[in-house]
Amino acid sequence: MTTSSFPDKFLWGGATAANQIEGAYDEGGKGLSIQDVMPRGITTAPSDAPTDDNLKLGAIDFYNRYIDDIALFAEMGFTVFRFSIAWSRIFPMGDEDKPNEEGLAFYDRLLDELEKHGIEPLVTISHYETPLHLARTYDGWSSRELIGFYERYCRTLFERYGARVKYWLTFNEINSVLHEPFMSGGIATPKTELTQQNLYQAIHHELVASARVTRLARDIMPGALVGCMILALPAYPLTPDPADVVAAMKTQHDSYAFGDIHCRGEYPGYLLRYFRDHGIELDITDQDRDDLRNTVDFVSFSYYMSMCETADTSARVTGAGNIFGGVANPTLQASEWGWQIDPQGLRVVMNDYWDRWQKPLFIVENGLGAKDVLVEIDGVPSVEDDYRIDYLNQHLVQVGEALADGVDVLGYTTWGCIDLVSASTAQMSKRYGFVYVDRDDDGSGSLERYRKKSFFWYRNVISSNGASL
Ligand code: BG6
């Protein structure tokens, strides 16, 4: 590919989330988060209390090993690192007046380390880790009160870290709440009992909160950039039948709606129609409408796969996917977990989002979950993960194509730059990293870190600013 398409200031790095790497779930004054009772990810109902089989409780012990891990990221040449702040480290219950100083101090130290290596932080404020108390007592984002709690949490972060953090994301994959209301929105009411009315009201609260803290960020941190974060899963029509095209359009609307509101500051007509057609009447105050006008500075998204849609219900077999799946595309191969691999889909999404919103994009998740085998190469433990290199290389070539198409892109962070616990399945064996972490699904392992083959591949990509792709 031509290399000139990657701009000089393009940010290269990796992405993680607190609950999937930190461990230390009850250290440093941290309260419980919803993840502490999700031992099997989204595959089973939450437990009543933390259980020993929940790998996230210890995760990869980043809480105690962050100095060495960040040194490994620096060795690859990262210029950006995406991590989330665990809400329940800062406000253990979520509804207190005063934050937990020990939690705040941990992220000070983490930021010190990034600064030492000249790595730009990219902070997710809420990544699937709502304080459990907010889920159990308030039914998560179903309650309007969450807006105030979230605002207080954000104010604390902005005042403490505002001088050091430029890039902020308000909610990870905000559209995923349509599919996983507990993990995404801390909504304790079981999915099967949740009405569309209640779900969309909860979404409204999140959207208002996101817009409000965008305004707050501007007041407190001039120069900071706030982005929304969308789970991008493009839906192609399964056939050229116009009915399939309309079915695909409607599925696309489910994700577009979140970007439209974040970028345009109001509800789009197709969503208002959906509310009318389904008898949904939201409580939207004048203040809410005003708040929503605080639109984001950039749009970030995760991209792993695409799917198809069809109007033919007999053909509508839902396949596996990132939080939600769709109709399988007969032209694509899938990962070991059934996620359909589509590098060109990334170019499509990028052009689509750029054309639609005209806001800079940030690809903050992309990667391949695979079962790695540790081998010895010249006496050093490593993984020959050519499959991961192929996946990432093909996707990055498409990022280059989109840049050449004129799309404005701030940067790219691969998901799980170091092996971590999976969100959907809570497995360790679903590995994404450039760095192998010695921990197995049964919790055993030394937690030692080893560089995989992809570690050296990515180092070359970064040092050549994409020329080696
Ligand atoms: C995204 C999430 O949905 O996909 C991450 O933001 C998650 O938290 C990633 O880990 C990969 O999904 P999984 O289920 O393979 O961990």
Confidence label for 279 from pLDDT (cuts 50, 70 and 90): very high
- What is the DSSP annotation of 230-276? EEE--EEESSS-HHHHHHHHHHHHHHHHHHHHHHHSS--HHHHHHHH
Asked whether the beta carbons of 187 and 140 are under 8 A apart, the reply is: yes
What pLDDT, in 10s, does the model give residues 81-130?
999 999 999 999 999 999 999 999 999 999 999 999 999 999 999 999 99
Distance 81 CA to ligand 1 centre (A): 16
The residue nearest atom 10 of ligand 1, judged by CA position, is 423
What's residue 220's pLDDT?
Answer: 98
Q: Give the integer Cα–Cα distance in Å for 157 and 324.
A: 31
Q: Could you tell me if residue 371 is inside a domain?
A: yes
The residue nearest atom 7 of ligand 1, judged by CA position, is 423
Q: Does residue 323 register a pLDDT over 80?
A: no
Asked whether the beta carbons of 305 and 325 are under 8 A apart, the reply is: no
Asked whether the beta carbons of 3 and 70 are under 8 A apart, the reply is: no
Q: Could you tell me if residue 4 is inside a domain?
A: no
In the chain, the number of structural domains is: 1
CA 316 to chain CA centroid, Å, is 27
Q: Which of 450, 433, 431, 438 is nearest to 60 (CA)?
A: 438
Burial of 168: CB neighbours in 10 Å, binned 0-12, 13-18, 19+: buried
Q: HEC states along 436-467? A: EECCCCCCCCCCCEEECHHHHHHHHHHHCCCC
At CA 288, angle to CA 231 and CA 35, rounded to 5?
40
What's residue 368's pLDDT?
Answer: 98
What's residue 27's pLDDT?
Answer: 98
Whether the full predicted model's pTM is greater than 0.95, yes or no, is: yes
Q: Give the integer Cα–Cα distance in Å for 325 and 28.
A: 38
What pLDDT, in 10s, does the model give residues 332-346?
999 999 999 999 999
Residues of the domain holding 393 = 11-463
Say what percent of the chain tops pLDDT 90.
95
Q: Could you tell me if residue 2 is inside a domain?
A: no
Asked whether the beta carbons of 373 and 450 are under 8 A apart, the reply is: no
What's residue 429's pLDDT?
Answer: 98
Eight-state DSSP code of residue 344: H
Amino acid at 19: N
Q: Which atom of ligand 1 is nearest to the CA of 415?
A: 9
Q: Does residue 3 register a pLDDT over 70?
A: no
Residue 208, C-beta contacts closer than 8 angstroms, at least 6 positions apart: 147, 288, 291, 292
Q: Could you tell me if residue 1 is inside a domain?
A: no
Phi and psi for 348 in degrees, rounded to 5? Answer: -60, -50
- Tell me the CB-side half-sphere exposure of residue 457, using CA atoms within 13 A: 20
Cα torsion angle, 433, 47, 127, 133, sign: negative
Eight-state DSSP code of residue 413: E
What's residue 317's pLDDT?
Answer: 67
Confidence label for 377 from pLDDT (cuts 50, 70 and 90): confident
In the predicted model, what is the mean pLDDT of the chain? 96
Q: Give the integer Cα–Cα distance in Å for 160 and 170.
A: 16
* Strand pairing report for 380-382 and 307-309: unpaired
Q: What is the mean pLDDT of residues 403-428?
A: 98
Asked whether the beta carbons of 308 and 321 are under 8 A apart, the reply is: no
From the list 75, 365, 376, 401, the catalytic residue is 365
Q: Could you tell me if residue 218 is inside a domain?
A: yes
Distance 338 CA to ligand 1 centre (A): 14
CA 158 to chain CA centroid, Å, is 20
Q: Give the integer Cα–Cα distance in Å for 246 and 62.
A: 45
Q: Which of 52, 68, 213, 190 is nearest to 126 (CA)?
A: 213
Weakest-pLDDT range from 110-114, 295-299, 309-313: 309-313
Confidence label for 4 from pLDDT (cuts 50, 70 and 90): low
Weakest-pLDDT range from 3-17, 52-66, 170-184, 446-460: 3-17
The count of residues in the chain is 469
Q: Does residue 318 register a pLDDT over 90?
A: no
What pLDDT, in 10s, does the model give residues 232-242?
999 999 999 99
Q: How far is CA 452 from CA 292, 431, 437, in A?
A: 44, 11, 10
Q: Which atom of ligand 1 is nearest to the CA of 323?
A: 3
Eight-state DSSP code of residue 41: T
Asked whether the beta carbons of 316 and 327 are under 8 A apart, the reply is: yes
Eight-state DSSP code of residue 33: B
Q: Give the integer Cα–Cα distance in Å for 30 and 105.
A: 12
Q: Could you tell me if residue 3 is inside a domain?
A: no
CA 1 to chain CA centroid, Å, is 28
Q: Could you tell me if residue 40 is inside a domain?
A: yes
Q: What is the mean pLDDT of residues 199-222?
A: 98
Helix (H, G, I), strand (E, B) or coil at 109: helix
Active site residue 113: no
Q: Does residue 180 register a pLDDT over 90?
A: yes
Q: Does residue 364 register a pLDDT over 80?
A: yes
Distance 415 CA to ligand 1 centre (A): 8
CATH number of the domain residue 355 falls in: 3.20.20.80
Using CB distances shorter than 6 Å, the residues near ligand 1 are: 17, 20, 128, 172-173, 302, 322-323, 365, 369, 415, 422-425, 430
Q: Does residue 2 register a pLDDT over 60?
A: no
Confidence label for 421 from pLDDT (cuts 50, 70 and 90): very high
Q: How far is CA 349 from CA 233, 251, 262, 307, 346, in A?
A: 8, 14, 17, 12, 5
Distance 19 CA to ligand 1 centre (A): 11
Asked whether the beta carbons of 333 and 340 are under 8 A apart, the reply is: yes
Q: Could you tell me if residue 350 is inside a domain?
A: yes
